[in-house]
Amino acid sequence: MPRQADQVQVSQARQASESAESSASQDTETKITQTDVAPSSNVFGAQTTATPSRTVSRFAQPVSKILAPVVRAGATETSALAAQAQTLDSLAQGIASCQACGLCMDREHVVVGQGVMQPAVMVVGEAPGEQEDRQGEPFVGRSGMLLDNMLSAIDLGREKNVYVANIIKCRPPGNRNPRPEEVAACRPFLLRQIELIKPLSILAVGKHAAQALLGVEAPLVSMRGQTYTLPHPGHTVPVVVTYHPAYLLRRPAEKALAWKDLNQTRDIVRAITGD
């Protein structure tokens, strides 16, 4: 696929170690059913009152197609680059032009985010995978289907009251974990994204996303069940931590715990909105 104008020249072939990996085993069911936990649990099946819809902010074209001047920013300069953005579109252009780390070299698309402004919940994941990089949208494929099922169970959805994004906006080679310098370079973009979107709450999915967002070094099991606060100028945003959908596809028995985290998120939103 041709590279876009915001990208530097890339190598003609990726390293052999960058083979695509599946987010889950093929024999794991995506759809969540009552059989995933004890019969008394209503896993991802409760219906709640949704927060009123707000203006949809979707990128009709992959962000990497935005023609923007190339900015050779170091990791310490991305904060200034992010601060210049006054809208999501201008932030997307800044991200597309950023070369603060090597991930810009081999990406197909910048994956900025998808959803509505002022959502009830902003879901923050780790980084784009192979399918996300190809399509330019976050959480697609089987992981995306499971995430949508999870959100739908508490009457949430990308089209009405959710925004979905990742810590890292470009795919790490071979779907490896993001490196510390890559997280440091991209985190200012996410924080500015949160400021512009103004979510009522945040659901951090997966250990790496939670650690990078909150700046804590702890296992996911110890971060679950708590409500963190992410400070922003003039307000704070409550944050709940749960398992990544890809992990739940591999370990479906953990869906019962994820259901508790979703209920926690729903209760936070209800307390804020009074619904």
Average pLDDT, the chain: 76
Q: Which helix (H) or strand (E) holds 86?
A: none
Beta strands in the chain (DSSP E): 56-57, 113-116, 121-125, 162-166, 202-205, 228-232, 235-242
Distance CA 257, CA 130 (A): 27
- Residue 69, phi then psi, degrees to nearest 5: -65, 140
More confident residue, 68 or 208: 208
State yes or no: pLDDT of 154 exceeds 60: yes
Distance CA 60, CA 9 (A): 25
**Mean pLDDT, residues 206-225 taken together:** 92
Structure tokens at 146: 């499971």
Show the 3-state SS of 116-140. Answer: ECCCCEEEEECCCCHHHHHHCCCCC
State yes or no: pLDDT of 52 exceeds 50: no
Question: pLDDT tens-digit profile of 244-256?
Answer: 999 999 999 999 9
Residue 57 banded pLDDT, cuts 50, 70, 90? very low
Domains of the chain by range and CATH? 51-273 (3.40.470.10)
Specify which of 21-35, 95-109, 170-184 reaches the highest per-range mean pLDDT. 170-184
More confident residue, 17 or 166: 166
Which DSSP state fits 29? -
* Cβ(155)–Cβ(50) below 8 Å: yes
**Mean pLDDT, residues 6-34 taken together:** 36
Burial of 188 (0-12, 13-18, 19+ CB in 10 A): buried
